Amino acid sequence: MRLPADRSRWLVPGQARPGAPRLYCFPHGGGSAAEYARWGAALPGFEVHAVHLPGRGARPAEPPLTDLDSLVAALVRAVPFGVTGPYAFFGHSLGALVAHEVSRVLWEAGEAPPGHVVVSAFPAPSRVRVTAPVHDLPTQELVTEVARRHGGLPPEVLASPALRALTANALRADYRVLETYAWRPGPPVPVPLTVFAGRDDGISEAELRAWGAHTTEPVDVRLFPGGHFYLREDTPAVQRALAGALTRPRRAVGV
């Protein structure tokens, strides 16, 4: 039986909207749930809940989860997705992979999957690239390499040894999740899928469209100006596109 949700640990809720579909947002590697919880004001048709992983933010004393299977299993045990009604997923970068795997595990377990999944800045799982691992680098090298590859780290983090160490702990755990992940072929999930990406992120359109092999539903690909963190360059435009994707009449969220 599913454990009750402990929203003070696993979820950072946005504005309460009883009866509205829930949108669960999965942050990027080393990312903060608070960034996505703030999106609620721009998405009035949804009740936004940002996923908050152990080992960061208000959960610094908890050991981080460092492999995808354990991370997905913990989320599925802790959060009763779908119990409160229709819901959807948004995941950015590593969060895209986590969102997809959670929806796949829920469906395979016979539970209601999300009505729509929006994946962002991540190639299809079957096309994930093998790159030089960074999760075992020393703190300074780890933070520097992640900043070089993707940007997105605030200057104050790069300038402060204390903040660098805290950030590196989350980055190390999340990059270990990514760098030890091995795609396992399986049946496609019957969930509508939308793919967002920045035009300058270096992910090819073929890698984005390859998400079509992971769902039985049509896949829409939407490109935005910018790089890996395109969604910070024009957040309102991304939020409008997200709301449009989730409310597209092709399939109602949660049905």
**Sign of the dihedral defined by the CA atoms of residues 180, 35, 14, 54, in that order:** positive
Whether 93 sits among the annotated catalytic residues: the reply is: yes
One-letter identity of residue 118: V
CB 247 within 8 A of CB 253: yes
Distance of CA 241 to the CA centre of its chain: 17
φ, ψ for residue 119 (rounded to 5)? -105, 145
Alpha-carbon torsion, ordered 203, 57, 72, 130, to 10 deg: 30
As a whole number of angstroms, the distance between CA 251 and CA 255 comes to 7
SS3 221: strand
Distances (CA, A) of 15 to 50, 119, 145, 193: 11, 23, 36, 25
Compute CA distances 116 → 23, 89, 172, 249, 252, whole Å. 10, 6, 30, 11, 8
Identity of the amino acid at 37: A
Exactly one of 8, 70, 93, 103 is catalytic; which is it? 93
Residue positions annotated with a catalytic role: 93
